[in-house]
Amino acid sequence: MSILNILQHPDDRLHISAKPIKELDAVTHQLVKDMAETMYSASGIGLAATQVNVPKRVIVIDISEARDDLLVLINPEIQSREGTVVFEEGCLSVPGVYDRVERSEQIMVQALSAEGDEFKLEATGLLSVCIQHEIDHLDGKVFVEYLSRLKQDRIIKKLKKNQKGLDQRGSS
Ligand code: GNR
Ligand code: NI
């Protein structure tokens, strides 16, 4: 198992549209394990393969308090949506930035499990928001792109400044 590097906004690789998994092989199984380890280590509630520089349609999520309820979504598709909800979102690729984004309140998702079994899931609340946030990553979209141009410019400035500080101290 290994902890993978998480790409930080702004990075062109976060804008790549991820390709569906054609065959669930050992490489994909290892990717799922490493993504789960990376998500838990970073204390995130979700992670998309795009964020670890693998442009494949793989997502891991765990919104449980105990951090013991891993959900794996491979080739997820939102089949239907209902209502809208505004949620304060954050992102491991945009550290320290939190802002409100409007999403669908309830979604029906179809996906493959880590074992390759097709399943459907009706999601509401945080799970629904998280799934939509992660599928956006697979489509090359970061949540800050829903914010005003002004806010986006400020966020990029702040992140670049933080990154410079880290570079000068020789850490990453
Ligand atoms: O850890 C995360 N928390 C979060 C909070 C509100 C809405 C979405 C998220 S997902 C985020 C992890 C992440 O960046 N996934 O792509
Ligand atoms: Ni994110």
70 within 8 A of 45, measured Cβ to Cβ: no
120 CA → ligand 2 middle, Å: 22
**Could you give the percent of the chain with pLDDT greater than 90?**
93
pLDDT at 171 over 80: no
**DSSP code of 22?**
S
**Confidence (pLDDT) at 149:** 98
Question: Residue 90: which of 47, 36, 53, 49 has the closest Cα?
Answer: 47
23, 115, 134, 145: the active-site residue: 134
Torsion angle of C-alpha atoms 159, 125, 3, 72, degrees rounded to 10: -140
160 CA → ligand 2 middle, Å: 18
Question: Residue 134: which of 67, 66, 39, 5 has the closest Cα?
Answer: 39
Mutate to test the pocket of ligand 1, among 91, 99, 127, 136 (most ligand atoms within 8 A of CB): 91
Q: Containing H/E element for 125?
A: helix 125-138
**Confidence (pLDDT) at 166:** 80
Q: Which residues pair with 89 in a beta bridge?
A: 99
Query: Counting atoms of ligand 1 from 1, which one is nearest the CA of 93?
Result: 14
pLDDT at 163 over 60: yes
Cα 11 to Cα 153: distance, rounded to the nearest angstrom: 14
Q: Which residue has the higher pLDDT, 1 or 92?
A: 92
Domains, the chain, with CATH or none:
12-170 (3.90.45.10)
pLDDT per residue as tens digits for the range 19-35: 999 999 999 999 999 99
For this structure, is 134 an active site residue?
yes
Which ligand is located closest to the Cα atom of residue 134?
Answer: 1
pLDDT per residue as tens digits for the range 40-97: 999 999 999 999 999 999 999 999 999 999 999 999 999 999 999 999 999 999 999 9
Confidence of residue 170 (pLDDT cuts 50, 70, 90): low
Question: Residue 134: which of 81, 28, 57, 64 has the closest Cα?
Answer: 57
